[in-house]
Structure 1
Amino acid sequence: MNTDSNHSQKDKNIGRKIFLSIVGILLVLGLCIFLVFHNYLKTSLKPLNSSDKSFKQIKIPMGASDKKIGSILQDNGIVKSGMVFDYYVNSHNLSKFGAGYYRLSPSMSLKKIADSLQKGGSAQPLEGSYGRVLVREGASVDQIALAVDKGSKYSAKDFINLMKDKNFIDYLVKKYPKLLKSVNRSKDVKYPLEGFLYPATYNASDNISLKSIVEQMVSKTNYELNPYYKKISENKLTVRKVLTIASIIEKEDFSYNDKRKIAGVLFNKIKMNMPLRASTSIFYILNKNHLKLTNKDLKVKSPYNLYKHTGFGPGPFNNPSIASIKATINPDYQDKMYLYYVANSSNGKVYYYEELNN
């Protein structure tokens, strides 16, 4: 009897050890799966390729579900995982994604992609089709000229010449006085209409004149800004000054809240009679987009050089989006007199300072 009892006890001990071993293996396996999934999720939330600044035309069909949209984005090399995109939009309660054509890039974060989809797409293809001119957010007049050359019967030179046509500009100023009464037409200005050409897709078929194409752009800007003219005046600003700050903010790839804070920093500098030190101004002068500015670049002689000169300068440096314009009209000054900001590329956060740290 004792022998049988001992055998039974040994069997129980062996069974318990086997059970605990299996549980331990399952726990370790579960932990490994969790860590792998967590890492996959973390990397999938980031841009697929932050160094790839190219854009693709993506068509989102009518009635496409979030899962279907994620699949389309993954198949077109815009996001790493369609499943993670679906998880992201659902976990953030994002909805109302519009059908249509979009220009998206692998360098865009999931947030920026989702924001673009919520704005709605174009009913017509944005690329590869004659008769449409696409003005991108943050595009300069020189860049718009290339779009006109590609999408219409008019050349880039035709467009640039029109941008310098005094009679045409005077006509627009009279027709859109609230928008253009502060436009700078002095000899120091590169293009008086820089900043006043709204980012959108425009009809450029053969029966439409170049002046009509440009007026579409100006009219759209006037429409978008109409609700804000009163507030711009109450803030003792002009449309030109607002668009100048907005054109600087446009090149900062940050959230709307950070854009408002950066606007606050820039206005603080204006109040303190300090140079804005905006690299955007140097890129505009040189008509290049260096990865890094040199000391020689910062000393370039131009009224647009906001490293050397105080104030707003002659005018905007590009044609900003409505988000950057709204951020400028509604600056966030925060709780201190911040005069500097530094972006951390590793975590995407922006830090604000009263004094410049060496």
Structure 2
Amino acid sequence: MANSDKKHEPESDLKRQIQNKKQSFQQEQKVANHIAYWIVGILVILLLILGVLGYNFVQESLQPFDRSDHQEVEVKIPIGSSNKQIASKLQEKKVIRSATVFNYYVKSHNYTDFQAGYYTFKPSMTLTQIVARLQKGGSSEPIGDPNRNVLIREGVTVDQIGTVIAQRTSFSKKQFLTLMKDQTFMRQLQRKYPQLLNSSLDSQDVRYHLEGYLFPATYPYYRGMSLKKLVIEMVAKTNQELLPYYDQIKEKKLTVQQCLTLASLIEREGVTQNDRRKISGVFYNRIDAHMPLQSDISVMYALNKHKHSLTNKDTAVKSPYNLYKNTGFGPGPFNSPSLNSVQAVLNPLERDKGYLYFVANLKTGEVKYSTSYAQHLQKNSKMGQ
């Protein structure tokens, strides 16, 4: 029996060793599992944190670079630029917050057709606004300092535009007025915009063939820009604005020159759009009656000076532009009219009332209309004018 017990002792020790190792392995496995769970948990938390941070970053990057910064920044987009390169350029110029997010935004919305050119952006612009501008296209020339922009106001003459050119550009007024008399340049413009300029170039006794054709707007001027280029942009703008009205002008049996002539008178005679349209009706009635338009604006243009009141000598001045003496439209426009005045020419009011005269109250601006000269004098008297 003693020998038998001794025989089983090694077997019992072996079992205990195996059991101990099994328990030790299980404990190690539990510890390993705990560590794995901790690692996975930490990774999940890190991923969540990164996800939140990433989401916030994307959301912030989709916002304007600086909502309060409205200063214009010029950006050149070279020909052949990829969306990634455009985004990098915009981030470099501090127009957008992130090139990566902008590129993702463009791809996710399938925006295409970005065009090369010179652009001005503001840090306050949204990505939607920036994309819209890139799709519209930029300038082929540097835009330059917006503080040097040339503003052409409604109702100004070529002579007055010359003064603005001298103030806002490197060109003199004399250079500008010389260009306005350059017939070779006029013919070049006519070939480029025949529908716009044919009637002007066909007109006789015209002081400036581009009088009335330099559209009231703001034009960018940059260093190195030619005077011809600046003028071409003004004429191109006029053509663009009048394009929807060419057929209507024909329907009225007017030339563009005649339409702009009436519009230039209406520009200076009427203040409200309603009065402009009524004054348009008066002018049409006088033309149909073969009466002179008798606008003070025409006399001041003939005199080449502004006056608060005209004398009999003034209204008798010998000039084709004097519409106190001459019937019809005269040689051409007297200033650069606004689109509102062009629309008034094409949509006159109350022609059927037979108005042939009008007078504005100098104090209130109210315009009175008359069908006869006697009635006109009576209304003038009531106003003390």
Which TM-score band (shorter chain)? 0.5 to 0.7
Q: Indicate whether 1:345 and 2:375 are aligned.
A: no
Select between 277-286 and 335-344 the one with higher mean Cα deviation.
335-344
Structure 1 counterpart SS, 2:352: coil
> How many angstroms apart in 2 are the aligned matches of 1:259 and 1:334?
13
Deviations 1:159-211 (A, max 9, x none): 00110111111011111111111114556111011000001111221221101
Moved more, 342-351 or 323-332: 342-351
| Pair 1:311-2:338 in alignment | no
Q: Answer whether contact 1:130 1:205 (CA < 8 A) is retained.
A: no
Shift in Å at residue 356 of structure 1?
1.1
Find out whether 1:203 has 2:194 as its counterpart: no
For the residues of structure 2 that align with 1:186 and 1:233, how far apart are their CA atoms? 17
- Mapping of 1:250-329 within 5 angstroms? 250-329=267-346
TM-score normalised by structure 1 residue count: 0.63
Distance 1:275 1:308 in 2: 7
Give the letter aligned to residue 341 of structure 1: F
CA separation in 1, counterparts of 2:201 and 2:350? 28
Describe the SS at the equivalent of 2:269: coil
Residues 1:220 and 2:220 are matched in the alignment: no
Q: Secondary structure at the match of 2:195?
A: helix
CA distance in structure 2 between the partners assigned to 1:281 and 1:345 by the alignment: 19
Contact 2:148 2:222 survives alignment (8 Å):
yes
Q: 1 CA distance for matches of 2:352 and 2:288?
A: 16
2: CA distance between counterparts of 1:187 and 1:312? 12
Aligned to 2:155: 138
Is the CA contact (8 Å cut-off) linking 2:282 and 2:351 kept in structure 1?
Answer: no
Superposition CA RMSD, Å: 2.0
Q: Deviations over 1:238-258 (max 9, x none)?
A: 111010001101112421011
CA distance in 2, matches of 1:62, 1:345: 43
Q: What amino acid sits opposite 2:297 in the alignment?
A: T
- Tell me the SS of whatever aligns to 2:336: coil
Q: Which runs of 5+ in 2 are unaligned?
A: 1-67, 71-121, 123-144, 378-385
TM-score, normalization: structure 2? 0.58
The 5 A counterparts of 1:1-358 are 131-184=148-201, 188-357=205-374, 358=377
Displacement of 1:335: 3.3
- Deviation by residue 1:281-340 (Cα, 9 ceiling, x = unmatched): 111121211111001001111000000100000000000111111111111134311111
- Any unmatched runs of 5+ in structure 1? 1-60, 64-99, 101-127
* Secondary structure at the counterpart of residue 314 of structure 1: coil
Distance 1:267 1:192 in 2: 24
Structure of higher CA gyration radius = 2
Give the C-alpha shift of residue 131 in structure 1.
3.1
Q: 1:346 to 1:148 in 2, by over 3 A?
A: closer
Residues in 1 aligned to 2:203 and 2:269: alpha-carbon distance in whole angstroms: 28
Deviation at residue 348 of structure 1 after TM alignment: 2.8
The alpha-carbon deviation at position 342 of structure 1 amounts to 1.5
Identity of aligned residues (%): 51
Give the aligned residue type for 1:207.
Answer: G
Residues 139, 319 of structure 1: 8 Å contact kept: yes
CA distance in 2, matches of 1:249, 1:62: 40
Query: Would you say the 8 A contact 1:133–1:204 is kept in 2?
Result: yes
